Amino acid sequence: MKKTLIIIPSRYASARFPGKPLALIHGKPMVQHVAERCRLVSDRVYVATDDVRIADVVKAFGGNCVLTSPDHPSGTDRCAEAAAKLTFSGDFDVVVNVQGDEPFLDPGQLEQLIRCFDDPETEIATLITPISSKEILFDPNKVKVVRSADGFALYFSRHPVPFQRDVPEIEWLNHAQYYQHIGIYAFRADVLQSLTRLEPSALEKAEKLEQLRWLENGYTIKTVLTGHANIGIDTPEDLNALLKIFPESEKK
């Protein structure tokens, strides 16, 4: 397997859930759950944060941390700075960006992404999962992706794509396969640095999706199918609901 660096961007400031990375899930901060799952895949796991409160907690549970600028517009930019700052910069092939609000992450998904880079043509890889729910299909907060016959992303949208002209919306799922994007990315190390030098693009501004900037500039994104739909936590209400179903085995 390729030499892999896993970075978990973690911000304290959040309009909907301030301090989210430090929220406790059965005695452990959320960011610790994410880091422990990532360590099952690579021994190079770093939390990238702009806040000393998060850094102190990460150090307390024995994790690795790197402080980054508070001015980054995206987790990708924070990842790129962290990768460039680390002392072994250049001593890895692949950088994986894992969101810090997914404590139920399946480590096997990360392994799937990393294996994509056995193909020297892969620049970026990301996860997708089939959509079977009309609620997800028409939810603008659930990003959809259209892929080519060989598995590369053609377009990402908050709207269902393709539009089915002669089919009632309620029947769209019966006439086409739709995919939901799962926001975990892996990058070839040099590609990650190149992406952060790109100017925001027209499609990105319209959809508020940074991956469209990459596509507009000619980068390819390999999509990897997974049957495991990740559970993100955006609000305290999300966390309270998930605590009720959090597996007993994860409480340890």
pLDDT (tens digit, 9 = 90+) per residue, 90-147? Answer: 688 999 999 888 888 899 999 999 999 999 999 999 999 999 999 999 999 899 999 9
- Identify residue 8 by its one-letter amino acid code: I
Q: Contact at 8 Å (CB) between 76 and 97?
A: yes
- The model's confidence at residue 238, banded by pLDDT at 50, 70 and 90, is confident
- The model's confidence at residue 51, banded by pLDDT at 50, 70 and 90, is very high
DSSP code, position 124: E
Tell me how far apart the alpha carbons of residues 26 and 201 are, in angstroms, rounded to a whole number. Answer: 42
Comparing CA positions, the residue from 114, 149, 131, 121 lying closest to residue 42 is 114
Average pLDDT along the chain: 90
| DSSP characters over 21-56 | GG-EETTEEHHHHHHHHHHTT-S-EEEEES-HHHHH
Tell me how far apart the alpha carbons of residues 193 and 122 are, in angstroms, rounded to a whole number. Answer: 15
Q: What average pLDDT does the segment 18-28 reach?
A: 86
pLDDT (tens digit, 9 = 90+) per residue, 139-180? Answer: 998 999 999 999 999 999 999 999 999 999 999 999 999 999
Q: What pTM was computed for the model?
A: 0.90
Q: What are the start and end residues of each CATH 3.90.550.10 domain in the chain?
A: 1-105, 120-229
State the CATH architecture for 1-105.
Answer: Alpha-Beta Complex (3.90)
Fold type of domain 120-229: Spore Coat Polysaccharide Biosynthesis Protein SpsA; Chain A (3.90.550)
Q: Would you state the pLDDT for residue 89?
A: 54
Q: Is 175 exposed, middle or buried (0-12, 13-18, 19+ CB in 10 A)?
A: exposed
